[in-house]
Structure formats: C-alpha cells, structure tokens
C-alpha cells in the first residue's frame, strides 16, 4: 500500500524531523500501529509481534519487524530500510527479540544513550520496562503530541486516500438509504450497505487496502462498516445493528465508516421513516440550519472553538441550550477518531490540509436525536466536503 | 450482549477474586477493552472514553462509563452497578472526568490507599500518570498475568458463543472454497465469504453481536473476516486480499476469523487449485499426517510443549527440520490471538474449558507453504473441534 519511491519521502518525514529538532529529541521509536504505519507505510494487520519505526533527525525511517513479516513488509512499506528480529523458518535476523535488534540499531546510529522519544499515550508500562532494560543509557521523553500534531495536516498521498474512502462511504450511504426505503431491518441495511462497499472496492481499487488498525490481540482485515440505530436505539449513539425493523414515524441513524490505505472517512445521516413527529422534525430542521450557519465560517484561520461556539449559539437560539454536545467533530485520518476535537477548549485553528468530521448534533434524552456527519478537507481557500451523498432532510 | 442475571455472576468473577486473594490485590481497575468486557459484558465498540471495570475481593463488579454510554451500557452489560462520568446533554454524572469518579468509588469501597491491580501490558505510561495523580496513596501492581490466566479457562457462556462463532466461520469457509472453485479473484472470494457469514448472522442470531475490540482511535463494528492469499502471496502469512486470480497448480490460504458476543473462532484451510506440484503436495500431505499424530495426544493433562515437540518430531522425520514454526497454535477467545502459545517453552498443560487454535504448518520460504487451523475446545475427557468444515486434502 502507498508505494512511494524511496527518493521522495512523504512530507511528513520532514515535519517529524523538524518537530524532533524543536523538542530536542534524537530518535523516535514508534510502536503504535497507526504511527508506525505513518512512518513506514506498512500495516501487517496482525500486531502480535510489534512493528517498530525508528527515525532520527539525520536518517531516513528504518522499519524493524519480525521475520515472519519480511516478505509482506518488503512488498508494502515505502521505507526501503527493513531490519528483522525473531525466528521464522530459515530467515536470517538480527537476534531472537526486538529488544536486542533495537539496541543494536540505535547503537549504530549513535543515539542509544541520547533522548529517545516514545508514545507515552500508547506505550504500556510493561513495554517501558523492556525499553529501559534494552536501552539503559537512554533518556525517554514523550512524543505523542509531536506525532499527533504532525498528523493534523494530511500529506497529498493521505488526501488521495481520504477521497477514495469518502467515495466508498457515499455508496454505502446510498445503499443503506435504499435498503431502509425497501423496509429492511437494521441488520439488512448494514449488511447490504457493507456488501455494496466491498464490491465497489473489490472491483475498482486494485491498489487500495481496506484493513484497519485493531487491538493487539487481533487485527482488522476489513474496515468498511455500516452502523444502523433506529428509533429509541439512536440514544445508544453507537451499537451493533439488531433485527429491529425501523417503524414509520421513527428517525434512523446510519453511520458509515470506511478506510482506504490506512485513511478513514465518515458519512453519517439521519433518515426519517415517513413523516416524523413534530419534536423530531423540529430538531432535524434545527440542526440542518445550524450546519449551514457554521459551515459559513469553515475557512483557514477560523479557530476550532469558534465553530463550537457558533453551534452552541444556534442551539440556544432554538431552545436546545440544555443539550449542548461535548464536541461537534473530530480529526479523522489514520484514526476514525483522531485526537483533535472541535470543542470549546480547542487551541487549534483551521489550516489547509486538515481533515475533520463536521457533526453538530442534538440529543434530547428519550425525546429526539440527530446524527449527521461529513468528512471535510481544508483547502487553501476554504473547505471541500469529501463525503457527498445527499444531505438535507432525508425522508424515505 | 451476554445478558446474565445479576444474581448469577459468571464463574470468572469467582476465579478473578481467588486470584486477587492469592496475589494480595485489593482492587482491580481494568481499562483494556477485552478485559473490561470480560468483567462487565459491555463493549461500547468505540473506546475514546474508557470503560473502567472495578472489582474488589468482596464486591461485585462495578462499571464506570462516560455519560454518553449510559443507555447503551445499561442495555448490554450484565453488571447492574453502573456509574457515570463526563458531561453529555442532561445526564447526571459523578464528575467531569473518570479520574475523580474513580477516586470517589475506590474511596467508598475503602481501597483507594491499598493495592490496586492494573494491566501493565496494556495501560499506557500516560494513563499510569493519571492514575497516580487520582489515587496518590495507592500501591499499583500488575495483574495482566492474573487476568490472562483466568481467561485461559472459558466459562459456559463463552463456550456457547465460541460454538456460534465457529458455525459462522464454517459457512465462511464453505463459501470461500465454492467461490475459489468458480474462478474468483482473492477479493471475490473474501467478499462473497464475508457476505454469506453476515447474512447467516443477520438472519439467525438475534442475540449475537459481531462487533470486535479495536484500536482506541477507532472501533470495530463488524468482525466477520475472510483472508485470501494465493500462490506466492501465501508467504506474506497475512494480508488484505488483492485482485489476483489464483492460478491452476497454486495453493491458496483461506483464513476465516469470526466473533460472536466477544468470543472469536478461527478456521483456516489450504486449498489446492487443481493438481499441485509435487513439492506443495508433499508438504500438504505431511502436515495433514502430522496433525493426526499430534491430535492423538490432545487431551487434558498433556503439556502444551508436548504438542509442539510432537510436531517438531513429525516435521524432522519428513525432512522439514529447518522449517520449524515458532508455535503451532495459540489461545483464542476475547482475543483472536490470546497470549498463550503452543510452543516449546510453554509452562501450560491442557485443561477442560481451554479453547485454542491447532495449526501446525510448514513454511519453506519461496518454495511451499501450508496454513490449516481449527478452533479446539478441551472437554473433560478429550477435545472437540468447534470448526468442522471439510478438512483433509482440499482440491477444487
């Protein structure tokens, strides 16, 4: 996936090195699947043996993987420098475990006794113990924020993948709405929508992988997903679909999450099953109006918190002052939910290259709920909606 | 999912408490999604706000969740005692963050200044810092092994789910083999197989959820997966399927992974596309014979390492002494790959209630590979194959 010629490293490598210089970090060793993929282009899907990305300020990224990932890694990563640990059939490796291999690589690079950046929001206490033993002279420092900050601005290869993920999500939404109109259960809608997305991917995107980043006890082979929550189940916010059949007069949340070569998109709509009761229709119309009001200020230079405040103002004005959400969107990319939040306390300002979900919504517990979200890319001059399926008031 | 009456807690709660007494732990606070589900029965799918399970030696499990998970949590968990943190619409909570709520709960239980067990193989360095601040008088100790050890023996509710997951996997395998026979690409095979499993689930298992445990930046809505690696791609061991069409004379790895209410099953087969070259046929027949030899000693009381040694012996005897795998299976349950390995160094002995994958295999790099795995349950007197699709030499 994401094959890039070694001579043209993606811009993020330069940004990471600049961040390292600023924070006075000599080497980053990355263990978090989303991040080691970001540094190397390799997602083995199964992470029971860690993939370790190594980056110094004056050396291109190195990838250290278990021997059983050798062939797969060489075929997938854009990093040309791949080292092996562990034992697997007749493969020759740097040693039986990653600790020895890592110590040896850092020794050769002259950084084993320097400032070593690790992801303190991900690296476990147990792994820190292993690292301290392998690199007894290193000084460890947290680079979670440094990496998250780099990830805020997407590289051209990432934007290209986000467009594909959004296109797949749009078909998923269209199929879900059609299946709802035809009278399917929550599961019928989810299964038909996921199958349509998979067929689109299988036939049209030869160079795209749709695996995701999973638990370290598992691995996500396919990340094209449709969530359906009908009527009172909307208040669960998220859940596995059931055999419940949406009833006339109910609203239904359809959430589509997709991934293309590691980059996610999200397309969420609230669908009315015929005419809705006044309380639901009013909420849905209110949020659609608020979306337009807030959309008008989505441009480079607008602080995230202004988007939140504009939403709050719109909700208050319409009598929903007691139902202010915690946030109205979040960063999206290697994570379906990246760390940045469009909330009241965000220090961030919209910049070209950012991708986020835009999802002001209303929840009045037990009364009414709306769920509408698009994936939005910041351009030099404004914003571009990557998800483009029908918006507005959707009734089937 | 897994609705259990509060008066009949699953046996694991008693085993966990016994383990705590032995290790002199006063309270466990569990953050790892697989484990907090094990302690409570709740998988919110999205874990951006942690689900925290709290267990003391003389109190039933308590579940602490973000307010936006309140309705979903009450509908899903078998734990009746649910507490809320955070802010969400008009919900009343214990405080704005989990730290304050946790400190208050542990204070009430009288264990805030005692020995607090945490999952050091999962809990991040950053989270440990938050815990130390929230519970300044606690002594933290690692309970990763205690929990993993309990998870080795499956409870009746878990075994029931494993049977369902295996049944779904069997249909996935049958569909994959049929689609291979019909001449599909890797992706055609995967997509048809995943769709068949989803339809089976959607129509026949009203009380089963098929969501999985994912990355903390995402969430796995659907975990019914088919992996297909044909010809030389078998050496990747795992990968996303491609548009490659398996050729006559090639072997193909089909890997099915499923989940039912949090419990996984695995069914893997090597399929011959017509007659195979002698080198491949010989490896496949060798591994089928070795499986039978090793199967004969799968019974309560056999050490894991004996299964490994018997495999090694069989491989050596047949000329594959240079191609010994690192392990020949692993525990399976809440994780598709649980921590226990069937390898040369395992201290474990087969016991009733254990579920593991049985997968002795051969990899001769660039020459030939086999991949065959079943999900096996240990009974009081022997073993039961939960996955039951056609085994033996499969040719289409």
Provide φ and ψ at A379, rounded to 5°: -105, -175
Q: Are residues B139 and B157 located together in one domain of the fold?
A: no
Please tell me the distance in Å from B203's CA to the nearest CA on chain A. 8
**Any idea how long chain B is?**
396
Alpha-carbon span A370 to A266, nearest angstrom: 16
**C-alpha to C-alpha distances, B51 to A240, A297, B30, B122, nearest whole angstrom:** 17, 36, 8, 14
Per-residue pLDDT 10s for chain B (396 aa) are 444 454 579 999 999 999 999 999 999 999 999 999 999 999 999 998 999 999 999 999 999 999 989 999 999 999 999 999 998 777 899 999 999 999 999 999 999 999 999 999 999 999 999 999 999 999 999 999 999 999 999 999 999 999 999 999 999 999 999 999 999 999 999 999 999 999 999 999 999 999 999 999 999 999 999 999 999 999 998 999 999 999 999 999 999 999 999 999 999 999 999 999 999 999 999 999 999 999 999 999 999 999 999 999 999 999 999 999 989 999 999 999 999 999 999 999 999 999 999 999 999 988 999 999 999 999 999 999 999 999 999 999
Among B43, B72, B89, pick the best mutation site for testing chain A contact (most A Cβ within 10 A): B89
- A145 to chain B, minimum CA–CA distance in Å? 12
Domain annotation covers residue A169: yes
B82 touches chain A (CB under 8 A): no
**Same domain, yes or no, for B187 and B138?**
no
Same domain, A81 and A126: yes
Interface touch A227/B221, C-beta < 8 Å: yes
Domain boundary among B151, B182, B203: B151
Give yes or no: residues A207 and A123 share one domain.
Answer: no
Residues B162 and B139 reside in one and the same domain: no
Residue A35 forms part of a structural domain: yes
pLDDT in the model for residue B301: 98
Asked if residue A365 and residue A251 are part of one domain, the reply reads yes
Tokens of B305: 């390492």
A1 in any annotated domain: no
What pLDDT score does A1 carry? 41
Rounded alpha-carbon distances, angstroms, from residue B76 to A91, B3, B102: 47, 7, 21
The total number of structural domains that make up chain A: 2
Q: How many CB atoms lie within 10 A of CB A393?
A: 13
- Tell whether B393 lies on the interface with A, counting CB pairs under 8 A: no
Residue B3 lies in a domain: no
A90 contacts B322? CB cut-off 8 A: yes
> Is residue A6 in some structural domain?
no
Q: What is the pLDDT of residue B391?
A: 92
Mutation choice for A interface testing from B236, B267, B340 by most A CBs within 10 A:
B236
Residue B319 domain-assigned (yes or no): yes
C-alpha B345/C-alpha B171 separation (Å) is 35
pLDDT of residue A8: 78
Using the Cβ of B345 and the Cβ atoms of chain A, whether some distance falls under 8 Å is answered with no
Task: List Cβ neighbours of A156 (8 Å cut-off, separation of 6 or more).
Answer: A10, A11
CA distance A121 to chain B (A): 5
pLDDT tens column, A180-195 = 999 999 999 999 999 9
Question: Distance from A63 to chain B by nearest Cα, in Å?
Answer: 17
Pair A155, A10: CB distance under 8 Å? yes
Closest CA to B86 of A370, A32, A240, A237: A237
CA A204 remoteness from chain centre = 22
Q: Which residues of chain A have pLDDT under 70?
A: 1-7
* CATH number of A89's domain: 3.40.350.10
Alpha carbon A371 to chain centroid distance?
18
Q: Which residues, numbered 274 to 313 in chain B, qualify as contacts with chain A under a Cβ-Cβ cut-off of 8 Å? A: none
* Inter-residue long-range contacts of B48-53, CB under 8 Å, 24+ positions, other chains counted: B48/A337, B48/B216, B48/B217, B49/B86, B49/B98, B50/B98, B52/B98, B52/B102, B53/B28, B53/B29, B53/B79
Min CA distance, A323 vs chain B (Å)? 4
The range of the structural domain enclosing residue B157 comes to 153-395
Domain boundary among B126, B151, B176: B151
**Do B109 and B195 fall within a single domain?**
no
Sheet holding A251-260, edge to edge: A225-230, A251-260, A263-272, A394-395
Which among B122, B225, B264 has CB closest to A221? Answer: B225
Task: Give which of A28, A69, A34, A94 is closest to A261, Cα–Cα.
Answer: A34
Residue B1 forms part of a structural domain: no
* Statement to judge: residues A325 and A365 lie in one domain: yes
Q: What is the pLDDT of residue A7?
A: 54
Task: Give me the helix-helix angle, B304-317 and B278-295, nearest 10°.
Answer: 150
Residues B207, B77 share a domain: no
Q: What part of B 233-262 touches A (C-beta under 8 Å)?
A: 235-243, 257
Residues A140 and A188 both lie in one domain: no
Domain CATH code at residue A322: 3.90.230.10
**Domain-ending residue, one of B123, B151, B179:** B151
Contact A123/B at CB under 8 A: yes
Domain assignment present for residue A246? The answer is: yes
Give yes or no: residues B76 and B175 share one domain. Answer: no
* Mutant choice from A87, A221, A260, A369 vs B, greatest count of B C-beta within 10 A: A221
Query: How far apart are the C-alpha atoms of A146 and A120, rounded to whole Å?
Result: 11
Partner B contacted by A145 (CB < 8 A): no
Report yes or no: B316 and B116 within 8 Å, Cβ to Cβ: no
> In Å, how far from its chain's centre is CA A106?
30
What ipTM goes with this model? 0.96
Q: Are residues B255 and B297 in the same domain?
A: yes
Sole residue written with tokens 């390898």: B343
């Amino acid at each position: 996936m994401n094959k890039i010629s070694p001579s043209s490293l993606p811009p993020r490598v330069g940004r990471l090195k600049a961040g390292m210089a600023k924070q006075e970090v000599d080497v980053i060793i990355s263990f978090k699947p989303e991040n080691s993929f970001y540094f190397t282009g390799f997602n083995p899907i199964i992470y029971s043996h860690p993939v370790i990305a190594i980056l110094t300020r004056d050396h291109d990224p190195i990838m250290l993987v278990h021997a059983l990932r050798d062939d797969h890694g060489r075929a997938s990563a854009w990093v040309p420098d791949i080292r092996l640990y562990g034992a697997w059939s007749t493969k020759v490796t740097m040693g039986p475990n990653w600790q020895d291999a890592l110590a040896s690589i850092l020794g050769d690079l002259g950084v084993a006794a320097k400032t070593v950046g690790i992801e303190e929001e991900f690296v476990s206490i147990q792994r820190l113990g292993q690292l301290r033993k392998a690199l007894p002279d290193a000084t460890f420092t947290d680079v979670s924020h440094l990496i998250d900050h780099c990830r805020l601005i997407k590289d051209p290869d990432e934007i290209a993948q986000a467009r594909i993920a959004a296109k797949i999500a749009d078909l998923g939404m269209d199929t879900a709405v059609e299946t709802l109109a035809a009278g399917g259960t929550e599961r019928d809608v989810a299964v038909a929508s996921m199958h349509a997305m998979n067929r689109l991917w299988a036939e049209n995107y030869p160079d795209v992988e749709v695996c995701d980043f999973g638990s370290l006890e598992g691995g996500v082979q396919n990340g094209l997903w449709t969530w359906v929550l009908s009527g009172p189940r909307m208040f669960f916010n998220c859940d596995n679909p059931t055999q419940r059949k949406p009833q006339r007069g109910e609203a239904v949340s359809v959430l589509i999450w997709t991934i293309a070569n590691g980059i996610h998109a999200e397309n969420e709509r609230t669908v009315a099953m015929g005419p809705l009761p006044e309380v639901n229709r009013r909420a849905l119309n209110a949020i659609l109006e608020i979306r337009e009001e807030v959309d008008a200020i989505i441009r480079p230079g607008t602080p995230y918190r202004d988007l939140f405040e504009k939403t709050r103002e719109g909700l208050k004005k319409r009598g929903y002052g007691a139902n202010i959400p915690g946030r109205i969107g979040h960063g999206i990319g290697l994570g379906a939910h990246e760390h940045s939040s469009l909330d009241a306390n965000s220090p961030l300002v919209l910049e070209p290259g950012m991708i986020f979900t835009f999802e002001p919504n209303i929840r009045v517990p037990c009364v009414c709920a709306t769920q509408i979200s698009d994936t939005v890319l910041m351009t030099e001059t404004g914003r571009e909606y990557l998800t483009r399926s029908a918006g507005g008031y959707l009734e089937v």
